[in-house]
Structure 1
Amino acid sequence: MTTDQPGATVEARRWLAAAASPGRRSLLSAAGCQALETTFTVVQWTGLAWVAQYVLDGALPSWQSAGALFGGGLLAAGAAWNTARFQAAGRRRIAHVLRWRLVAGLLPAGRRHAEPDAATAAVATVELTDDIADFHAQSFPQRLSAPVSIALILVVTTLVEWPAAVILLLASLLIPLNMRLVGLFAKEGADAQAAAGARLAAVVLDSFRGLPTLRNIGALERRRAELARAGGDLNATTIAVVRRASLSGAVMDVVITFSIAANATYVGLSLLGYVRIGAAPGMTLFRGLLALLICPMYFQPMRAMAAAFHSRERALAAVPAVRRLLVEPASNSERVPPSGDRPTVVVDNVSLRFPAADEPTLNGVNLTVHAGRWTAVAGPSGAGKTTLLSLIAGVREPSGGSVRWLTPTGASAPRLGGCAWIGQQTVLLPGSIGDNIRIGRPDAGRADVERAVAAAGLAELVEGLPRGLDTPLGEDGWGLSTGEARRIAIARAFLSDAGLWVLDEPTAHLDADAEAQIIVALRNATRGRTVVVATHSTALAGSADILLGVADGAVHTVREATRV
């Protein structure tokens, strides 16, 4: 977002304002509590000034003055506690909804034809959502409660000692100019800091991904220097933001200090009898002390709003990156429970072109994947095998043509989540083997999990473990080989009871023996299911009923067996 795009800036502000909706109720409650806190604090300071007047007069404070002092203080503390509680609740809700939408956009979705940059996605999900939520939690209640608080203090000051209120009003004239300068300084710094943060995230992520390669080619020192430069740039931009915030805060402090000093001078000289304004009420300790006590409160909402300028510009800088990742899913791409019906998949004149590509990855593809049969897709890397699988599974929508699942109950477009997908890598989460298998169907009972274990050829392994299905996995638990982890994925898919299995290089990175075992496990687990598998493996391709080839964006039949 740049200043030469006023339309984009206005749109970003509208989007940012709308992002507060999930936490609006909590933040409205926080605004009400802030106004109550100001009211009770005024009551507290009124009680303190009242008690001081009694002490000066040599009398014991009345129960009303003591009650105002202590009661007002307790109520103000309670209101402040509730303000923080409601702000935190609103912040959590806004961040939760934003992250939920981001994750929905980052997961494969029907209208996404290109994968997002991983570093940008990570920064947006972890940091930028917090910037937006922090801004609303800070500014939304202040924006509503500040006018009420300022008006209340100004009215009380006017009733107590109106010349002090005039001094407050005169000092207020400098506040808008200071806040404008704060906004200009903050925007420039926020944009630079966001860019530096994204750059550092990208370098760190690339370094982790390519660490073995960097080590093998002797480029670790060069990458270390690049990391140091990226970190230094982020440090420099962060320090610049802090410096700007300190400068604008110093200007605000000067205004507040001047106002308090002017009021203190007026009150002191009036009490000594050196200053007397005819229309003003007579100065007493109660009036003067109360005016001085609530004077700083008059500027507190303004200081909070000035601080919010910095968080506002950080949030506005985050908006473009977040919005780019919020892809609305297509109507047929909602996650649904997998269906046990084994479908026939019909691909009718399908084409897919990625936005940045010169040529379509697939062009005019026509094929039929028959129900209950194994169909293998072979071809060189980059030919479009995985892309074809993603269209069949409903992960992507075609640029042209259509993909349909035909079952006894009728025809439907592919539904994301309606089939079982096994890729080259199996993600194992912290927990037991049973927990990892139940990802395929979280409500599955132990008997169902044991059947999935048997179907995937894991029974012997599980029986040999110290705690069976309850054996924990991970750094503090049991470790699995690549082939064993692949069997976990097969058990998950079996447990989901999907009628269509889509397999992307399920035997990649396995030796010949492990590959043969996985092929047997897959054939056993998918008995009666419709299976589409992309592979470079001769053994896996040879086990299929139909073998298709992909080249130059087209799909052709290489071999078709008669078995079913």
Structure 2
Amino acid sequence: MTSEQAGTATSAVETREWLSGAAAPGRRWMLLTACCQAFETAFTIVQWAGLALVARDVLNGVRPSWQGSGILMGCGLLAAAAAWSTARFQAVGRQRIAHAIRRRLVAGLLSAAQRHAEPNPATAALAAVELTDDIADFHAQALPQRVSAPLSMALILVTTVVVQWPAAVLLLLASLLIPLNMRLAGLFAKEGADARMAASTRLAAVVLDSFRGMPTLRNIGASARRRTELARAADDLNATTIAVVRRASLSGAVMDVVITFSIAANATYVGLSLLGYVRVGAAPGMTLFRGLLALLICPMYFQPMRAMATAFHSKERALSAVPAIRALLVEPESSVEFGDRVPPSSEPVTVVVGNVSLRFTAAEEPTLRHVNLTVPAGGWAVVAGPSGAGKTTLLSLIAGVCAPTHGTVRWLTSTGSSTPWLGGCAWIGQQTVLLPGSVGDNIRIGRPDASRVDIERAVAAAGLAEVVARLPQGLDTQLGEGGSGLSTGEARRIAIARAFLSDAGLWVLDEPTAHLDAGTEAQIIVALRNATLGRTVIVATHSTALARSADLLLGLTDGTVHTVTEAMRV
């Protein structure tokens, strides 16, 4: 075996192990589903026995006995209850699995500090929406069937043996052909699933890129060309999808032939035995009840096989989805990294940036070069510089949104030292995202478990008390889509209140007074000063007013940082 083949084999094993481990959040619910499926099979067998009794009496011209009718109705209700429970438990287990994967995806997509490159948005969207469902669907189908199918088939086979064992032999002979068909179909399905995922990713990328660049495409007259490219990507997805469906249909057709042949053989045997043309010496005598029951439960024997075949096709789609999802996840490099975190608190943080350089790709010039700076605990530091100098990038390094190519960024407190991590500091950007809901709910985003008193304290610290007092329902006033009903300055105060509520010792602010008039800007600066009392604050801004309020003013030009002297501030 070559090294390349060994690597492929190892990757395949890791993929299967990851796929198996992804089922953990819903495993308990899937076991309950399997139990319900087994009970449904048992109740259905008894139900068909009651139906056979009723049918025998009707065909013999006798009034059906109450035993047969009672068994038919009672077990029918029990089987329906078991089927309802099966669907309920299966849906809950599937939801748990999908939710757990999506939570890991969100954490992985946000944890840019451990990435060397940003993930492809189209791949991320496809993974979060479709590929996650492929994995959850597979486990929802396969896990219960893995437990219940052998038990259900054994119950049916034992019942058939007791009723008429030659019919059970015919069932066994037919079932030997199905696993081979499933394996061959699975090999074709795997190839088709890979091709379909690649086509889906390409179509998503084209659509996303088209929306992003619509004004540019219109201005340069490339809309028609992009329309052609989009149509070509859609056609490729259609072709690969049809190929997958065709292969699955072919597999299903082969299985249908085997199942139909088995049922026909059993029906022929039962009919000839009742007519007296066939007699197997060691077999029990054929009666109308035995023959009807054998024919009724014969199709049931193949239902678990059909479900397993469906799960087999789902497995190939899930295996194709795993590499794309794993590429988006960020696993902790070691337990030390997480144990090295400074617990979030209101204690001010000393930020030390040591010889940091950042290069996004190997082909371009570094965005930041050999940056060294120290922001003391409780200090106000302002980073000023022209647009494109790298101010937001520097803030992203300090906040833990991205990692430096070279050098280190450390947070220091009395409890220890740590690398920056998402959620460890308060971040206020140029735009405040306001969601439909009350003012209080929008502030509570900073700490979902905050009490009413905590929110009111944050409102006062952000200078928002007068604004809230003017609102018709105070904190309970509902905001429209995008925060309609509030001015830009009032929205910024809500962002300040959120940050205050998070009680972080480090605040990182990216142009917090952008797009504000001078009067409103002065009010926001006062609110920030009051809310961040005793905290460490690092601000990137073009604002002269903010720069004058800094304890430490830093200039950023051509990717390097220098301290601005008092004389240069004026």
Scaled by the length of structure 1, what TM-score is found? 0.89
Q: Deviations over 1:131-153 (max 9, x none)?
A: 11111011111112111222222
Q: Does 1:556 align with 2:562?
A: yes
Match of 2:422 in 1: 416
Match of 2:296 in 1: 293
Q: Does 1:372 align with 2:378?
A: yes
Tell me how far apart the structure 1 counterparts of residues 373 and 143 of structure 2 sit (CA, whole Å): 56
Q: 1:413 to 1:246 in 2, by over 3 A?
A: closer
Q: 1:42 to 1:425 in 2, by over 3 A?
A: same
Match of 2:500 in 1: 494
Q: Does 1:530 align with 2:536?
A: yes
Tell me how far apart the structure 2 counterparts of residues 357 and 339 of structure 1 sit (CA, whole Å): 40
More deviation in 501-510 or 423-432?
501-510
1:128 Cα shift? 1.5
Q: Residue type of the partner of 1:194?
A: M
1:116 Cα shift? 1.9
For this pair of structures, how many residues does the alignment match? 562
Q: 1:78 to 1:505 in 2, by over 3 A?
A: same
Match of 1:394 in 2: 400
Match of 2:71 in 1: 68
Q: How does 1:119-518 map to 2 (within 5 A)?
A: 119-329=122-332, 338-352=344-358, 354=360, 361-379=367-385, 383-398=389-404, 400-408=406-414, 411-446=417-452, 448-475=454-481, 478-510=484-516, 515=521, 517-518=523-524
- CA-atom RMSD in angstroms: 3.1
Q: Does 1:117 align with 2:104?
A: no
Tell me how far apart the structure 1 counterparts of residues 560 and 566 of structure 2 sit (CA, whole Å): 18
Question: In the alignment, is the contact (CA less than 8 A) between 1:376 and 1:544 conserved in 2?
Answer: yes
1:179 Cα shift? 0.8
Aligned residue for 1:367, secondary structure, equals strand
More deviation in 458-467 or 339-348?
458-467
Gaps of 5+ in 2: none
Tell me how far apart the structure 1 counterparts of residues 471 and 235 of structure 2 sit (CA, whole Å): 49
Question: In the alignment, is the contact (CA less than 8 A) between 1:185 and 1:244 conserved in 2?
Answer: yes
Scaled by the length of structure 2, what TM-score is found? 0.88
Tell me how far apart the structure 1 counterparts of residues 465 and 213 of structure 2 sit (CA, whole Å): 36
Question: In the alignment, is the contact (CA less than 8 A) between 2:342 and 2:416 conserved in 1?
Answer: no
Question: In the alignment, is the contact (CA less than 8 A) between 1:333 and 1:416 conserved in 2?
Answer: no
Q: Residue type of the partner of 2:192?
A: G
Tell me how far apart the structure 2 counterparts of residues 449 and 79 of structure 1 sit (CA, whole Å): 48
Question: In the alignment, is the contact (CA less than 8 A) between 1:361 and 1:384 conserved in 2?
Answer: yes
Question: In the alignment, is the contact (CA less than 8 A) between 2:436 and 2:482 conserved in 1?
Answer: no
Q: Residue type of the partner of 2:409?
A: V
Question: In the alignment, is the contact (CA less than 8 A) between 1:545 and 1:560 conserved in 2?
Answer: no
Tell me how far apart the structure 2 counterparts of residues 181 and 246 of structure 1 sit (CA, whole Å): 13
Q: 1:333 to 1:11 in 2, by over 3 A?
A: closer
Tell me how far apart the structure 2 counterparts of residues 511 and 236 of structure 1 sit (CA, whole Å): 56
Q: Deviations over 1:103-134 (max 9, x none)?
A: 11122354234332222222212222111111
Tell me how far apart the structure 2 counterparts of residues 229 and 95 of structure 1 sit (CA, whole Å): 31
Question: In the alignment, is the contact (CA less than 8 A) between 1:200 and 1:231 conserved in 2?
Answer: yes
Q: Deviations over 1:498-547 (max 9, x none)?
A: 33211123234556665555444434433443211123445543443322
Tell me how far apart the structure 2 counterparts of residues 463 and 219 of structure 1 sit (CA, whole Å): 53
Q: Residue type of the partner of 2:269?
A: Y
Tell me how far apart the structure 2 counterparts of residues 421 and 561 of structure 1 sit (CA, whole Å): 30
Aligned residue for 2:114, secondary structure, equals coil
Tell me how far apart the structure 1 counterparts of residues 37 and 384 of structure 2 sit (CA, whole Å): 65
Q: Residue type of the partner of 1:161?
A: Q
Q: Residue type of the partner of 1:368?
A: T
Q: 1:356 to 1:333 in 2, by over 3 A?
A: farther
Q: Residue type of the partner of 1:19?
A: A
Tell me how far apart the structure 1 counterparts of residues 215 and 492 of structure 2 sit (CA, whole Å): 23
Q: 1:11 to 1:356 in 2, by over 3 A?
A: farther
Q: Residue type of the partner of 1:492?
A: R
1:175 Cα shift? 0.9
Tell me how far apart the structure 1 counterparts of residues 220 and 470 of structure 2 sit (CA, whole Å): 42
